[in-house]
Structure 1
Amino acid sequence: MNKELSPTERFLSLFTTLRAGEGFPALLLAAQAFAIMFSLYLLKVIRDTLILSQGDAELKAYATAIQAGLLIFIVPIFARLYFYLSPRSGKHLILCCVLQFFLFSLLLFAVLYWQGVSIAVVFYIWQGLFAVMSLAVFWAFAADLFNPRSGQRLFPLIAAAGALGALLGAASAAPLNTLSGHVGVLCAAALLLLVPLTLSGRMEEAIPTGSLAGSHEAPVSPGSLAEGFSIVLRSRYLSAIAALVVLLNLINTNGEFVVASLLTDELARQGLDSTQSPERAQRITGFYATYQSITALLGLLIQLFLVSRVFDRFGIRGALLVLPIVTLLGYGLLSLLPLLMLALIVLIAENSISYSLTATTRHALFLPVSREQKYIGKQTIETLFFRLGDMISGGLVYVASSLLGFSTLVFMLGNLVLSVILLGFAIAIGRYHYRIILKKMNNLPPVLASPISDLRIDSGRLTEFVFNTETFGDPDEGDALRYTAYLNDSEPLPPWIEFDGLQRKFSFNPGSNDGGRIQLRVVARDFQGLSTESRFDVHVAPVNGRITD
């Protein structure tokens, strides 16, 4: 296999660390994530339009509750599907089966709506199921393809493609709906699902051997109808992840309520307390449009430029702690200064991190677990427990605000307490994950296989030198090396020496006064931060041809 990075891989390395050969499969999976998220966000515009045109917000709340109720029955059906398809060849079969169901459902909805049949309530429920189930099974498929070290490096890139798809899907929905109507949007969303259906079957053969997950274990026979719940509850690790998901929902719902309450209070102070006021409606719409736009843009930037770097520098354990620390500091400050602008900043920070870093970290948590836990456990957590969190959150807000009359400050303090609990679960999950990784994979430093030889160059001339791919090696399967160069005493390179770590290339262009000997260090560092190095001398012949020390 070619060990040189392709031009495409060098470009993708701006966002994460890649091994040679990983660029093509990463792009294939990124295209699938982009298409699924684009499809989901296209459908959101007509989902809300349909439900609110045939009912009110109360009907929307009832439909959300029905989604959670249906998942109690859908999760066992999915578990049966997994046990049926798992022994068959091809890891993509489960994803394809689920997406085929949703694709044909979309086409059926398009035909029914075209014929004038009312689909609002059923479609709203269906779209909610599509959103949680398709993403859960896609990320289970991704975790099933890559070993833990490769997945940890590549998941930020794949998630960034999904974030871009969500952003473009949301931006395209209204113009497409104006141009082709609801039927056109439904058909476009269905066509987008052909992308993962077409590409997913090529993934296993495209992934290089050192990055591919091992062959999956033979599935056990299906258990009871509560198999999804038992898989989660039997594992302390999965149970902790489920609790994390519920806590994240609780904190977010409380935060949304705090912002909404402070906003209505601020409008009332400005004399806009009438719900019939057009100016009030305009101000609220503008406020939330700004909030959603900033959150989406900031989330995309975090996904593109920070997630892989947080994974690289702090690992999964460190990434888990970011959101709890942000919410702890944010709601602590907000409890002291309950201002609308501060609440908005806290919520934007919370949601942009949750949609990017925390979401990617949650997906990566399933890389080292069994295949059964990847598919059934993740599906149970990301669907049923996620919706359960929605219901608990909504119920607590209703009881605390409407029945008990708690003030906004109580919700801020409540989120402060919940953030402490969330931080505790994040620390525990990080420890569990680290122990699982150590059991399944080694964590050895890179090795220096062939030291770099000394060089002799001439001053006044450009000289390029590329050291061999075999110079350094990494015994850890799926890991990738990054290279940096320094002077012997760890100081930066002088201006006449440039080093390209992606191509392992030095460019020497010494001036007439740069003759003599200089010692360089090349450091090879893996994704876990372990390193080794090679030192070598560069002898620069001055214009007169003599080398001096």
Structure 2
Amino acid sequence: MLEKFVNVKKEEKGPVLLSFLYFFTLMCGYAILKPLRDEMATAKGVRDVPWLFTAAFLTMLVAVPAFSALVSRWPRRRVLPFVYRFFLIHLLAFFGALRLGVDRDTVARVFFVWVSVYNLFVVSVFWTFMADLFGREQGRRLFGFIAAGGTTGMLVGPFLVKLLAEPVGATNLMLLTAVLLEGSARCVRGLSGRMAAGVSPLSSEAPVGGGVLDGVRLLFSSPLLRGLAVQMLLYAATSTFLYNQQVHIVDRVASGANARAAAFANIDFWVQVLTLVLQVGVTGRLIQRFGLGAALAVAPLLTALGFAGLAVLPGMGVLISFKALRNASHYALERPGREILFTGVDRETKYKSKGFIDTVVYRGSDSVSAWMYRGLDTLGLGTTGLALAAVPVAGLWLAVSLWLARYSREHAPAPDSEFGSAPNTVG
């Protein structure tokens, strides 16, 4: 049955399905938390958002070196479950604080920062693990389907929030995310066991080794990693501008905590519907036929067109359509394409430089972009002007993405073995 949708070999089915389940549990849990975070961002207005993004960036500056220290000394089968259970304990603490009546405004601010760190960190760890398990040729065939596991989770999560937020209470849904996080940790154990049994003989369980700051050193020594960092910076900048526009629009049309949470969940639901359709039926075939250039170019192109449309008609209908097309192309095409590029680098780069790009660079861009958005808004640029300001940023993102695709073709790594990626260095 699976072969009808995915070009998967018999020996790959088990790891691929378990990877699908792993990403499902991870993203379903996050999708439950995301509307709660977004509701908290609008509960007392939107003026605190730049400060919250800045706090998330500063937290990342501590979290990423700590993760690098762990992977330098411990095997991934121990580090990755530890990371997920570390976040699980924090989540239970937030639930307890809200249930005990701790000042909601204070909890809301800390929770916003925590989720902003959590969502990037756990997803970066997931894709690092996938790039370590599968080779480049496999990534072209399989990463679209594996990514669909996360999209399915992002589809189910908002549906659960939309269905249960008002009758059950949004806070109580945190416990469901805790259960799903434990499921993610168990999937890591299962995949590590399969690989240790010889399913992917070139995938090492040894500690990565090296120093805590080696990821930053590698980043500045590699044209590929520098390009990926700039691409992430530009993607994050457009995401922050769009997020701020979303917060303002939803704040105008919805009132009350549960109503806002339901509105954010509704947006996420329709985004994921389109993403899932593309990932299951289009991603793998498109990348194999047209290459990474096409996969990396669609999202920035749609982003430029979307901001232009939002400048003309800044309403919920255009917002949902824009977010659906942009996020679907990002999660179904661009994100798998980016992760394929990481299958050809060495393990230290995967576990250290990749994490730095996915988290610190992203949140750093978030912070700067949020303050820039606020400054332009204060100057009276207005919704139309703010949307138009993001169009040239999307154009630059497109140019960098096309350069990455060309660089990848010119510096392609050695062919993969049947399973696992051959040990390569960064070009």
> TM-score with structure 1 length normalisation?
0.66
The 2-side partners of 1:304 and 1:297 are apart by 11
The residue that corresponds to 1:501 in the other structure is none
Q: Which has the higher helix share?
A: 2
CA offsets, 1:372-420, max 9 Å, x none? 11111121111111112212222222233322x4466655554443233
Give the match's secondary structure for 2:47. helix
> Given the superposition, is the C-alpha separation of residues 306 and 68 from structure 1 closer, same or farther in structure 2, using an over 3 Å criterion?
same
The correspondence of residues 53-132 of structure 1 with structure 2, limited to 5 A, is 55-85=44-74, 88=75, 91-118=76-103, 119-132=107-120
Higher relative contact order (CA 8 A, sep 6+): 2
1:441 correspondence with 2:415: yes
Contact 2:50 2:367 (C-alpha < 8 Å) held by counterparts: no
Contact 1:147 1:213 (C-alpha < 8 Å) held by counterparts: no
The 2-side partners of 1:203 and 1:156 are apart by 18
CA offsets, 1:520-548, max 9 Å, x none? xxxxxxxxxxxxxxxxxxxxxxxxxxxxx
Whose Rg is larger? 1
Contact 1:210 1:477 (C-alpha < 8 Å) held by counterparts: no
Q: Which has the higher strand share?
A: 1
The 1-side partners of 2:45 and 2:124 are apart by 30
The 2-side partners of 1:94 and 1:260 are apart by 35
The 2-side partners of 1:46 and 1:284 are apart by 9
Segment of structure 1 superposing worse, 167-176 or 199-208 = 199-208
The 2-side partners of 1:179 and 1:294 are apart by 22
> Given the superposition, is the C-alpha separation of residues 348 and 29 from structure 1 closer, same or farther in structure 2, using an over 3 Å criterion?
closer
The 2-side partners of 1:184 and 1:166 are apart by 18
Contact 1:145 1:212 (C-alpha < 8 Å) held by counterparts: no
1:154 correspondence with 2:142: yes
> Given the superposition, is the C-alpha separation of residues 352 and 431 from structure 1 closer, same or farther in structure 2, using an over 3 Å criterion?
same
Q: CA deviation at 1:212?
A: 5.6
1:242 correspondence with 2:193: no
CA offsets, 1:4-63, max 9 Å, x none? xxxxxxx2223321011211111111111111111111223443455655x443345433
The correspondence of residues 366-381 of structure 1 with structure 2, limited to 5 A, is 366-381=342-357
The CA RMSD over aligned residues, in Å, is: 3.6
The 2-side partners of 1:259 and 1:178 are apart by 22
Q: CA deviation at 1:205?
A: 4.7
1:352 correspondence with 2:344: no
The residue that corresponds to 2:418 in the other structure is 477
The amino acid across from 1:432 in the alignment is: Y
CA offsets, 1:332-378, max 9 Å, x none? x759x935589655554223212332222222221111111111112
Give the match's secondary structure for 1:439. coil
Aligned residue pairs total 411
The residue that corresponds to 1:472 in the other structure is none
The 2-side partners of 1:230 and 1:20 are apart by 40
The 2-side partners of 1:64 and 1:117 are apart by 23
The residue that corresponds to 1:519 in the other structure is none
Q: CA deviation at 1:217?
A: 7.9
* Aligned-pair identity (%): 25
> Given the superposition, is the C-alpha separation of residues 141 and 288 from structure 1 closer, same or farther in structure 2, using an over 3 Å criterion?
closer
The residue that corresponds to 1:429 in the other structure is 404
> Given the superposition, is the C-alpha separation of residues 423 and 58 from structure 1 closer, same or farther in structure 2, using an over 3 Å criterion?
closer
The 2-side partners of 1:65 and 1:95 are apart by 26
The residue that corresponds to 1:38 in the other structure is 28
The residue that corresponds to 1:361 in the other structure is 337
Q: Equivalent of 1:299, from 275, 284, 289?
A: 275
Q: CA deviation at 1:256?
A: 5.9
Give the match's secondary structure for 2:312. coil
1:164 correspondence with 2:152: yes
Q: CA deviation at 1:135?
A: 0.8
The 2-side partners of 1:278 and 1:151 are apart by 41
Contact 2:135 2:344 (C-alpha < 8 Å) held by counterparts: yes
Contact 2:377 2:386 (C-alpha < 8 Å) held by counterparts: no
Give the match's secondary structure for 2:11. coil
> Given the superposition, is the C-alpha separation of residues 46 and 369 from structure 1 closer, same or farther in structure 2, using an over 3 Å criterion?
same
The gaps in structure 2 that reach 5 residues or longer are 421-427
Q: Equivalent of 1:312, from 259, 267, 288?
A: 288
